[in-house]
């Protein structure tokens, strides 16, 4: 089985990226990481990826000023050059323009720390607590032009306990993200492969 070439886009510590790299150590995992790319040169996750022997690249979005598309075109060039077939956003903190999202339509997934469609955007844990929800969780979804809005691939939930703070809840959800993301990525790869087979 040929594995889909995977790029992981990060902005920070990269714990989800690490979970994906760990899963991909298994040669039967359907994606093979070829690039970890960060918009922040100081992202901790870049060091982790390099330790894992994966190619890393930082493209500082700040050097492009307000021109989001120019930044994305630079990313796009490198992704294409690396032969990337699927992108996993893992704590990538830049909103992507419709141009980039359409260029990678059906080939880009994201993990979001809420039970979508609830709590798109930021402060998801605080918002779930404030709403008095009994459960919170995380979602992996296809990326579409709306923020955290694409079709859901897989979700996992955890209980919200009395006295939870956003930090406590985030710590309960994060390990669940680390299990969910590799599973959902494998599922996404199968969907892409099925589509490729059907169009051949
Ligand atoms: C995770 O909670 C993820 O769901 C969200 O950003 C956070 C990234 O954490 N999109 P990490 O960099 O993967 O540790």
d(CA 18, CA 8): 10
Q: How high is the mean pLDDT in each 10-residue block of the chain (200 residues)? A: 94 98 98 98 98 98 96 98 98 96 98 98 97 98 94 98 98 98 98 91
Nearest CA to ligand 1 atom 14: 15
Q: How far is the CA of 162 from the centre of ligand 1 (A)?
A: 24
Structure tokens at 56: 């890393």
pTM of the model: 0.97
Q: What is the pLDDT of residue 200?
A: 81
Q: What is the pLDDT of residue 62?
A: 97
Nearest CA to ligand 1 atom 1: 91
The span from the first CA to the last CA of the chain, in angstroms, equals: 17
Q: What is the pLDDT of residue 6?
A: 98
d(CA 160, CA 43): 30
Q: What is the pLDDT of residue 140?
A: 98
d(CA 176, CA 174): 5
Which positions are catalytic?
Answer: 112
d(CA 195, CA 54): 28
Q: Scan for tokens 């060091």, then name that residue.
A: 47
Q: What is the pLDDT of residue 103?
A: 98
Q: What is the pLDDT of residue 124?
A: 98
Q: How far is the CA of 151 from the centre of ligand 1 (A)?
A: 19
């Amino acid at each position: 089985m040929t594995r889909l070439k995977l790029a992981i886009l990060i902005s920070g510590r990269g714990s989800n990226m690490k979970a994906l790299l760990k899963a991909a150590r298994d040669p039967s995992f359907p994606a093979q990481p070829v690039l970890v790319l960060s918009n922040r040169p100081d992202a901790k996750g870049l060091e982790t990826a390099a330790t894992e022997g994966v190619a890393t690249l930082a493209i500082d979005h700040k050097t492009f000023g307000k021109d989001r598309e120019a930044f994305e075109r630079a990313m796009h060039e490198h992704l294409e050059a690396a032969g990337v077939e699927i992108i996993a956003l893992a704590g990538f903190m830049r909103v992507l323009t419709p141009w980039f999202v359409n260029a990678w339509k059906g080939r880009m997934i994201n993990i979001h720390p809420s039970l979508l469609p609830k709590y798109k955007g930021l402060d998801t844990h605080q918002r779930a607590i404030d709403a008095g929800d009994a459960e919170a969780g995380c979602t992996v979804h296809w990326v579409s032009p709306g923020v955290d809005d694409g079709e859901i691939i897989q979700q996992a939930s955890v209980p919200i306990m009395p006295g939870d703070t956003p930090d406590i809840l985030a710590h309960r959800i994060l390990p669940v993200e680390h299990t969910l993301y590799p599973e959902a990525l494998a599922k996404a790869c199968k969907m892409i492969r099925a589509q490729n087979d059907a169009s051949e």
